[in-house]
Chains A and B, each alone.
Chain A
Amino acid sequence: MPIDRTKRKKKKSRDAGRARRKKACWVCENQVLLIDWKDDRLLQRFVSDRGKIVPRRISGTCARHQRRVAAAIKRSRAMGLLPYVSEQVQ
């Protein structure tokens, strides 16, 4: 007997019904040509309050700029401009 496929419940995607808009890359948008590892105020924008690097899917940063931002943050951390971890943030 053939399986009746019509009765099978349609799997709902988690995002169904929720409109998703592609976030624009902040770096592109503001035409920042050089992501300077010495500019901790600029980099602060790309780390969470815990000091973690914010992933692309959250920040919307494009691939190229995310790579540059991540590299800059790491250099910055080594020099004590940005924290590796920051605990007591409320």
Chain B
Amino acid sequence: MKTYETMVVFDPTLDEARIGAKVEEIGRRVRDAGGEVRATKEWGKRKLAYPMSRKDNGVYVVLQYDAPGGEIAEIDRLLRLDDGVLRHMTVVGPDEALVKAAAEAAERAAQRRARTREEED
């Protein structure tokens, strides 16, 4: 099983409960297929870089989960048929070790910047 990452941009006129239910539906499918949802990140309403379906905003949700490959097609179909979804994309997520290493490196970089700033003062 691989780790996947799905980003969904919902229609901003949809109410939160409806969006929550759709996200939960994806989670349910993942679990039913023997997978596991690792994280659900709700970015909330955000301005789109360009209008989609005459809308200037979108509600962003990112799901990270382990699932068997076959289920990805199902999730894709589900999202494609949903009129409340402006855009969606599923990618194979970077492996955990890399994400962790990257976060640590970012942390170190922040410390280094703080240190050089101190030296300058």
Contacts and interface: CB of A to CB of B under 8 A. Distances in A.
Q: For chain A, give the interface size range.
A: 20 to 34
Please classify the interface of chain A as helix (H, G, I), strand (E, B), loop, or mixed, using the class held by over half of its residues. loop
Nearest to B43: A38
B48 to A, nearest CB: 4
Given A79-B9, A79-B87, A32 B50 contact: no
Interface string B26-55: 000000000000000000000011101000
Interface stretch (A5-13, A52-60, A80-88): A80-88
Contact of A38 (B49, B62, B87, B106): B62
A50 to B, nearest CB: 13
Given A31-B109, A32-B106, A38-B7, A83 B49 contact: yes
B1 interface: no
Interface residues of B, number: 21
B114 interface: no
* Residue among A51, A80, A81, A86 having the largest count of chain B Cβ atoms under 10 Å: A80
A34 interface: yes
Contacts of A30: 109
7 contacts: A31-B105, A32-B106, A33-B98, A75-B89, A79-B89, A80-B52, A83-B49
Interface of A: 30-34, 36-38, 51, 75, 77-86
Interface of B: 7, 9, 48-50, 52, 58, 62, 86-87, 89, 91, 94, 98-99, 101-102, 105-106, 108-109
